[in-house]
Amino acid sequence: MALLDIYAGRTAYRALAEQGLKSELFDFMLGASGGPKWFVLAGLDRVIFPSFFAGRSRPLHALGSSAGAFRFACFAQSDPLAAINRLAEHYSHTVYSDRPDAAEISAKGRQLLTHVLGQTGVEEIIQNPVIKAHFIVARSRGLTRFERKEAQLLGLLGAASGNALGRRQLRHFFERFVFSADTELMLGDPSGITSQFVPLRSDNLQQALMASGSIPLVLEGVKDIAGAPPGMYRDGGIIDYHFDLTLQSTTQQQGLVLYPHFWPKPAPGWFDKRGRRQPHKASYDNVVMLVPSAEFIGSLPYGKIPDRKDFETMPPEQRIPYWQEVIRRSDELGQAFVELTHRQDLTSVMRPIEFTRN
């Protein structure tokens, strides 16, 4: 049974066919939103973060939204393996009351971040000379900036309607902000949504991380993040759920993008999850996606990867062992990745990326 599928854009496919899966080919990483879906990738992170890029001296830009931002906050710490294990362990054991409100869920989120970052994590991320973390956050506009659920819901319905007309319309409801440990990253958006960059600082890093995962209607937004324009900041996945962006650095050669992902067909934004909108071909030309195979997912308990609905459909005594088993099994994907790095010929196992549009 194949455990791990590799999808590669045209440029990436050619590079891997000629040189193999080498760490020096990559200058960027992407981390998608998805909450507990990330657990299936934990084993990959346990290999990629501490081992695959070990000894690197050239900057690696790691851009994430929501769960992806949390993962890269672990990646940029001095002991990324210990940090990613803290994230997996604490998050998988989260328990809420029978009817949790946004305040309770947000409080648990802040506790999670405090545990993952520890006493020194914030400064380690900001000062990391190699792993450059970038966290995507959406600043709310119009009704989406209010905490009252009725106003948020109306604003989200408007945003969904605008998004159906074109992704560019999202700019009337949300603005993309990128909180960055480095000023060298440049983003290209084929839909024309602009990006505003804010330096990560000791007084805003945890705020930015919390905002990046603050799902509308589920968690409280984060108001007036230090160093950023005043406003209400929410989940970065609203605009950039699975990404439709090109990544460049202003100071170095443009390498490939490594993208461990739990789904073989990325949806650009949050409102595209159930639609048919595809990302642009140019956004994935130099991307290498690592995706758990359908056979591997089918072999997991319940034949699926975890998701937020598990909080509602499973009691903790059922959900927590299930999530722990997925995290344990994800190490099989990490081992499969290691084996791929030793292969001389990847053409027999790679698939060209075909889910994009011009």
Look-up of token digits 């990253």: 185
- 179, β-bridge pairs: 135, 198
Query: Which pLDDT value is given to residue 357?
Result: 77
Q: Note the pLDDT tens digit of each residue in 49-97.
A: 999 999 999 999 999 999 999 999 999 999 999 999 999 999 999 999 9
Work out whether the CA dihedral 307, 210, 177, 58 comes out positive or negative: negative
- 105, β-bridge pairs: none
Q: How far apart are CA 34 and CA 42, in angstroms?
A: 13
pLDDT band at 345 (very low <50, low <70, confident <90, very high): confident
Q: Note the pLDDT tens digit of each residue in 15-24.
A: 999 999 999 9
Q: How far apart are CA 179 and CA 227, in angstroms?
A: 10
Q: How far apart are CA 39 and CA 310, in angstroms?
A: 13
pLDDT band at 358 (very low <50, low <70, confident <90, very high): confident
Q: How far apart are CA 210 and CA 224, in angstroms?
A: 12
The model's pTM is: 0.96
Looking at residue 127, its amino acid is: Q
Query: Which pLDDT value is given to residue 275?
Result: 76
Mean pLDDT of the chain: 95
What share of the chain has pLDDT > 70, as a percent? 100
Q: Note the pLDDT tens digit of each residue in 92-128.
A: 999 999 999 999 999 999 999 999 999 999 999 999 9
pLDDT band at 254 (very low <50, low <70, confident <90, very high): confident
Question: Is the Cβ–Cβ distance between 217 and 96 less than 8 Å?
Answer: no
Q: How far apart are CA 150 and CA 180, in angstroms?
A: 33
pLDDT of residue 242 exceeding 80, the answer is: yes
- What average pLDDT does this structure show over 216-239? 97
Domains of the chain, by residue range, sit at 4-352
Q: How far apart are CA 171 and CA 319, in angstroms?
A: 37
Query: Which pLDDT value is given to residue 276?
Result: 80
Q: How far apart are CA 236 and CA 243, in angstroms?
A: 10
Q: Note the pLDDT tens digit of each residue in 265-321.
A: 999 999 998 878 999 999 999 999 999 999 999 999 999 999 999 999 999 999 999
